[in-house]
Amino acid sequence: MTPLIKELKQTGNLPDLQLKQLLQTDDYNEELFAAADEVRRENYGTDVYIRGLIEFSNFCTNNCYYCGIRSGNTSAQRYRLTIDEIFECAQTGYALGFRTFVLQSGEDDYFSDDIICEIVSGIKKRHPDCAVTLSVGEKPYESYLRYFNAGADRYLLRHETASQELYSKLHPGDMSLTRRLQCLHDLKKIGYQTGSGFMVGVPFQTAENLIEDLRFLQELQPHMIGIGPFLRHAETPFKNYENGGFLLTLKLIAILRLMFPRATIPATTALGTVAKNGREQGLKCGANVVMPNLSPLKYRKLYTLYDDKICTGEEAAECVGCLRRRVESAGYKIVVDRGDSKVF
Ligand code: SAH
């Protein structure tokens, strides 16, 4: 093991310059990946946690330049699931062995705090042994508190980028990094298992920006960290930019595992989209979560954050079967478990 990787593994940290060196070399860094896998096995064995993703609305009031469901995309066909449809997704997922449901949407005011609380408490009542994760964007402290009191266990809100300068190149002027970071601090304070993360290879991003992301996460100490490559969408201002790099994303997953040994880290759908067997590779580099889609088939293709998204054509049961085989082929095992983060 090179001294650099040894230091990162033993101390969970490296100075900026060395991190930059790891990120900028163009190699398939087997030693880095093996070290990350070792740390993952020390903390989570070969367990892979599954999260049933329910994408319940693609309406969005935000206009992020990278995202396919941005409000400015007038060609997007919009949909909302009814509360009963959401409960049905959870029911199907429960039968398939899911013990965590992730409710994700655009920023859709139709889903008032009352409705979100009704959905959360309804799922918790039907499946008391399950965790509910929300991923519905930026909300006031009081709203987060209400969802938590209704039974929500976890919240995903990627910070997207910790650089003020880059943030303003990716978002219109009415969006604010300061507000987003405040949300993350609020979520942690309330007691959520909190997830953050960023996109890799988004337009204008530098290695320094990525290091800023790592430093921000060290400060936040989230329970969950989700990253994935930026992928272009034809109906966005970023339609002509390159997709984020696969190898760079793998390296960052490995670095994150070494920096945050006990965090849960998903091998994301975006990673599976950018490369064949991308998620399996992610698992081998330190990721320990996969998030199959439980949304009804008829809406799957409409939740299009980026082009060519995988897994939009199969029923949930097929998806889980396929993923189980993939996970096993990589040397791991999907478990029936809430899969709580071991960060406390
Ligand atoms: N409205 C919620 C959910 C957003 S979608 C929120 O604001 O948190 C979930 C994540 O998808 C985003 O946080 C972003 O990191 C990612 N995403 C959006 N567009 C993407 C793209 N074009 N390529 C890759 N990831 C993208």
Q: Look up the domain containing 185 and give its range.
A: 15-335
Nearest to 256 by CA among 219, 227, 298: 227
Does the pLDDT value for residue 1 go beyond 90? no
Note whether residue 288 is domain-resident.
yes
8 within a domain of the structure (yes/no): no
Question: What's the structural domain count of the chain?
Answer: 1
Examine residue 217 and state whether it is found in any structural domain, yes or no. Answer: yes
The sheet carrying 224-229 orders its strands as: 52-57, 100-105, 131-135, 154-156, 193-200, 224-229
Distance CA 58, CA 110 (A): 11
Return the residue matching tokens 């409705």: 115
Each residue of 144-164: pLDDT tens digit? 999 999 999 999 999 999 999
Residue 2 maps to a domain: no
**In a domain? residue 139:** yes
- With a pLDDT cut of 90, the percent of the chain lying above it is 98
pTM of the model as a whole: 0.98
pLDDT tens digits, one per residue of 100-138 = 999 999 999 999 999 999 999 999 999 999 999 999 999
In a domain, 252, yes or no: yes
> What pLDDT was estimated at residue 26?
85
Other beta carbons less than 10 A from residue 200's beta carbon: 26
Cβ of residue 172 lying under 6 Å from some atom of ligand 1:
no
Regarding the beta carbon of 160 and ligand 1, being less than 6 Å apart is answered yes
Residue having the nearest C-alpha atom to atom 2 of ligand 1? 137
CATH number at residue 290: 3.20.20.70
Considering just the CA atoms, what is the radius of gyration of the chain in Å?
19
pLDDT value at 78 more than 90: yes
- pLDDT given at position 33: 98
**Binding site membership of 226 for ligand 1 (Cβ less than 6 Å):** no
Closest alpha carbon to 94 in 241, 294, 333: 294
The alpha carbon of 199 and the centre of ligand 1 are apart by a number of angstroms equal to: 8
Cβ(273) – ligand 1 distance below 6 Å: no
> In the predicted model, what is the mean pLDDT of residues 17-38?
95
User: How far does residue 67's CA lie from ligand 1's centre (Å)?
Assistant: 6
Residue 7 forms part of a structural domain: no
CB of residue 137 inside a 6 A radius of ligand 1: yes
Contacts of 275 (CB under 8 A, 6+ apart): 246, 281
> Residue 344: is its pLDDT beyond 90?
no
Please indicate, yes or no, if residue 260 is contained in any of the structural domains.
yes
